[in-house]
Amino acid sequence: DAKTTQPTSMDCAEGRAANLPCNHSTISGNEYVYWYRQIHSQGPQYIIHGLKNNETNEMASLIITEDRKSSTLILPHATLRDTAVYYCIVRVGNTGNQFYFGTGTSLTVIP
């Protein structure tokens, strides 16, 4: 099963870009990279996902290296409401139907 490695915590100044790295060196060719975040007492919130091309949506951008062994989630203009735990996930399970959530990165946006 492909696992992920993320820094335990990061700080970011409000209004600046937050760049959250993730290593997934054992990812296989058909596994997608997903990003979620979780704010205390709420369920995980879907942010973005990708296979090998860079992706962008209204929340964030996802940059995946050419060898697919790592990726970076970019929040272009961080706000205080972006303070949360961010999870980088590679789908696992026999049919890709289970998510393995690690410990994630606790992002604190500082005023």
Partner 1 sequence: GAGVSQSPSNKVTEKGKDVELRCDPISGHTALYWYRQSLGQGLEFLIYFQGNSAPDKSGLPSDRFSAERTGGSVSTLTIQRTQQEDSAVYLCASSLGGGRNQPQHFGDGTRLSIL
Which DSSP helix (H) or strand (E) runs through 110? strand 105-110
Q: Tell which positions 56-75 bind partner 1, by CB under 8 A.
A: none
Q: What is the C-alpha to C-alpha distance for residues 105 and 16, in angstroms, rounded to an integer?
A: 17
- Residue 42 touching partner 1 (CB under 8 A): yes
> Using the rule CB under 8 A, which residue among 2, 55, 99, 106 binds partner 1?
99
- Residue 98 touching partner 1 (CB under 8 A): yes
- Residue 54 touching partner 1 (CB under 8 A): no
Q: Measured from the CB atom, is 100 or 108 closer to partner 1?
A: 100
Query: Longest C-alpha distance within the chain, in Å?
Result: 44
- Residue 101 touching partner 1 (CB under 8 A): yes
Q: Measured from the CB atom, is 95 or 111 closer to partner 1?
A: 95
- Residue 28 touching partner 1 (CB under 8 A): no
- Residue 32 touching partner 1 (CB under 8 A): yes
Q: What is the C-alpha to C-alpha distance for residues 46 and 44, in angstroms, rounded to an integer?
A: 7
Q: What is the C-alpha to C-alpha distance for residues 36 and 41, in angstroms, rounded to an integer?
A: 15
| Structure tokens that stand for 27 in this block | 């990812």
